[in-house]
C-alpha cells in the first residue's frame, strides 16, 4: 500500500511518500484541451503545464484546480488529482490501494474539506484524511502537536496565510487571511506596468518576486513588452523597489494574523517566547517578511529549514501517528 502526504497548494503541489521521501514538487497547474471535444482531455500537469501559462494556443487552457487554498471545481480537482497519481504511480496496480493525508487550510469550511475528500476518493485514493496544513508543517519541522506545550506557526502559501497556536491535540487560536503569495505576484505585475511601462507575464512576475527575495545583487533584469510601443524591452529594476512594492501586501498579512494574539491565553505566552514562532510556506521567503512579522507579533521568528516541502513531509509522517490523526485529522 502506498502511503502519501500531499500538500495540495494553490501555487505548488508537493507529494511525499513515507518510504521514498519527496516524489513530486511542481506547480499546481493542469493543461486541458477544451475545444472540439465533449470531454476535456489532460495534456500535461505540473511544470510542463506551467511552462505554457500565458503562451497556450487556442483550444488549450492552463487551469489552476485550487483557489485560495481550496477546491472551487470538484471535477477539475478530481481530474488533476488523478493525473498527479498517475505521475507518481504509473502502473494501475500501484494505484490500487493508496492511503493519503492531504493538507487543508485551517480556515477551510466543512464543505470545502468535504469537497477535497470527495475529489480524492473519486481520483482513486481509497483512504484519505484531511489535516490542517499548519499542523502538518509543524510535524514536518519536528514539532509534536500532542505535547503539553503551546506552539505557534505561520503558514504563508500562494492562496492563504494562516497563524495557528496549538497544544495537546487541539487548536487554541488561529487566524486566516486570503491575501498571500498570489497577491504579492499581482503587486509586482502592476508595479512593472504602472512605473516601468512594462507588460510582464504571470510567470515572469512570479520569478521576479522570488528572485527579489534571494537576490544578492542590487537589481534584477526584467523582460517584457513595452506598454506604449508593443515592442520587447528589458528593464533594470532595483531589488529595493520590489521589496517596497511587496511591503503593503506583507503588512496586510501580518496585521490580520497578529489579531490571533488577542485569543492567546496569557499562560501560553511564555511557551511561544521560549520557542519562537515557526514560519514556512513560499510567501515567507519574501524579503523582509520575517522582520515585519517579528515586529507585529513581538515574538522571535524562526524560518523552517524546508519551508516549501515541510507540509507534505509532516503529512506523510502523520500517517504513522494514529493518535495525532485522531486528534487533528478529519476522514
pLDDT tens, 273-294?
A: 999 999 999 999 998 899 999 9
How would you label 7-24 residue by residue, b for 16+ Cβ within 10 Å and e otherwise? bbbbbbbbbbbbeeebbb
Residues annotated within the binding site for ATP are: 10-12, 158-160, 206-209, 282-285
Contact 153, 138 (CB under 8 A): yes
Is 42 within the bounds of a domain?
Answer: no
- Provide the CATH number for the domain around residue 190: 3.90.640.10
Give me the chain's average pLDDT, please.
92
Do 152 and 219 share a domain, yes or no?
no
Q: Could you tell me where the DSSP H helices lie in the chain? A: 47-50, 74-88, 110-123, 133-140, 181-195, 202-214, 239-258, 266-275, 289-297, 310-318, 322-328
| 222 burial via Cβ count (<10 Å: 0-12, 13-18, 19+) | buried
Distance from C-alpha of 139 to C-alpha of 329, rounded to nearest angstrom:
13
Distance from C-alpha of 326 to C-alpha of 125, rounded to nearest angstrom:
19
Q: Average pLDDT, stretch 130-145?
A: 98
Q: What is the pLDDT of residue 67?
A: 87
Do 216 and 296 share a domain, yes or no?
no
pLDDT tens, 172-231?
A: 999 999 899 999 999 999 999 999 999 999 899 999 999 888 878 899 999 999 999 999
Do 7 and 153 share a domain, yes or no?
no
Do 171 and 285 share a domain, yes or no?
yes
Do 171 and 185 share a domain, yes or no?
no
Is 208 within the bounds of a domain?
Answer: yes
Q: What is the pLDDT of residue 38?
A: 53
Range of the domain at 80: 2-28+64-136+310-328
Judged against a pLDDT cut of 80, whether residue 95 lies above it is answered with no
Dihedral (C-alpha) 189, 195, 200, 203: value to the nearest 10 degrees? Answer: -30
Q: Average pLDDT, stretch 13-34?
A: 95
* Residue closest to 168 by CA, chosen among 328, 8, 49: 328
What size, in residues, is the chain?
331
Is 56 within the bounds of a domain?
Answer: no
Judged against a pLDDT cut of 90, whether residue 21 lies above it is answered with yes
Do 208 and 255 share a domain, yes or no?
no
Q: Lay out the sheet containing 301-303: strands in order across.
A: 170-177, 161-167, 151-156, 277-280, 301-303
* SS3 of residue 197 by DSSP: coil
Do 254 and 159 share a domain, yes or no?
yes
Contact 205, 192 (CB under 8 A): yes
Answer positive or negative: Cα dihedral of 125, 127, 132, 134.
negative
Distance from C-alpha of 14 to C-alpha of 23, rounded to nearest angstrom:
8
- Least confident range from 56-60, 172-176, 266-270: namely 56-60
* SS3 of residue 221 by DSSP: strand
Judged against a pLDDT cut of 90, whether residue 68 lies above it is answered with no
* Residue closest to 310 by CA, chosen among 9, 7, 57: 7
Q: Average pLDDT, stretch 92-106?
A: 85
Residues annotated within the binding site are: 10-12, 158-160, 206-209, 282-285
Q: What is the pLDDT of residue 56?
A: 86
Distance from C-alpha of 11 to C-alpha of 90, rounded to nearest angstrom:
24
Confidence band of 10 (pLDDT split at 50, 70, 90): very high
Is 223 within the bounds of a domain?
Answer: yes
Distance from C-alpha of 331 to C-alpha of 99, rounded to nearest angstrom:
11
Is 54 within the bounds of a domain?
Answer: no
Is 39 within the bounds of a domain?
Answer: no
Do 297 and 284 share a domain, yes or no?
yes
Tell me which of 230, 246, 262 is where a domain ends.
Answer: 246
Is 40 within the bounds of a domain?
Answer: no
Total domain count, the chain: 3
Do 118 and 7 share a domain, yes or no?
yes
Distance from C-alpha of 77 to C-alpha of 66, rounded to nearest angstrom:
7
Judged against a pLDDT cut of 90, whether residue 170 lies above it is answered with yes
* DSSP class per residue in 71-107: ES-HHHHHHHHHHHHHHH--SGGGGSSEEEEEEE-TT
Strand partners, 238: 219
Is 41 within the bounds of a domain?
Answer: no
- Provide the CATH number for the domain around residue 97: 3.30.420.40
Do 85 and 21 share a domain, yes or no?
yes
pTM above 0.85, yes or no: yes
Do 112 and 206 share a domain, yes or no?
no
Do 78 and 122 share a domain, yes or no?
yes
Amino acid at each position: 500500500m502506498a502511503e502519501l502526504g500531499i500538500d495540495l497548494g494553490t501555487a505548488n503541489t508537493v507529494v511525499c511518500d513515507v518510504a521514498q521521501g519527496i516524489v513530486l514538487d511542481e506547480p499546481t497547474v493542469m493543461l486541458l484541451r477544451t475545444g472540439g471535444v465533449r470531454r476535456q482531455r489532460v495534456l500535461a500537469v505540473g511544470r510542463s503545464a506551467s511552462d505554457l501559462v500565458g503562451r497556450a494556443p487556442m483550444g488549450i487552457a492552463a487551469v489552476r484546480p485550487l483557489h485560495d487554498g481550496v477546491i472551487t471545481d470538484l471535477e477539475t480537482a478530481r481530474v488533476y488529482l488523478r493525473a498527479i497519481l498517475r505521475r507518481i504511480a504509473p502502473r494501475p496496480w500501484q494505484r490500487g490501494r493508496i492511503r493519503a493525508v492531504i493538507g487543508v487550510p485551517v480556515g477551510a469550511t466543512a464543505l470545502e474539506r468535504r469537497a477535497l475528500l470527495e475529489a480524492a476518493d473519486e481520483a482513486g485514493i481509497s483512504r484519505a484524511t484531511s489535516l490542517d496544513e499548519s499542523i502538518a508543517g509543524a510535524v514536518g519541522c519536528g514539532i509534536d502537536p500532542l505535547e503539553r506545550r503551546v506552539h505557534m506557526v505561520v503558514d504563508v502559501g500562494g492562496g492563504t496565510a494562516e497563524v495557528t497556536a496549538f497544544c495537546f491535540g487541539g487548536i487554541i487560536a488561529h487566524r486566516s487571511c486570503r491575501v498571500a503569495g498570489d497577491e504579492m505576484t499581482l503587486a509586482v505585475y502592476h508595479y512593472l506596468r504602472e512605473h516601468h511601462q512594462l507588460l510582464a507575464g504571470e510567470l515572469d512576475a512570479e520569478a521576479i518576486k522570488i528572485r527579489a527575495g534571494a537576490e544578492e545583487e542590487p537589481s534584477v533584469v526584467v523582460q517584457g513588452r513595452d506598454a506604449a510601443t508593443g515592442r520587447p524591452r528589458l528593464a533594470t529594476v532595483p531589488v529595493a523597489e520590489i521589496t517596497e512594492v511587496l511591503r503593503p501586501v506583507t503588512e496586510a498579512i501580518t496585521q490580520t494574523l497578529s489579531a490571533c494574539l488577542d485569543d492567546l491565553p496569557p499562560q501560553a505566552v511564555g511557551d511561544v517566547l521560549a520557542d519562537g514562532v515557526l514560519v514556512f510556506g513560499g510567501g515567507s521567503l519574501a524579503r523582509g517578511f520575517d522582520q515585519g512579522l517579528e515586529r507585529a507579533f513581538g515574538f522571535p521568528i524562526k524560518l523552517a529549514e524546508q519551508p516549501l516541502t515541510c507540509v507534505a513531509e509532516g503529512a506523510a509522517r502523520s500517517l504513522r501517528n494514529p493518535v495525532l490523526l485522531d486528534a487533528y485529522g478529519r476522514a
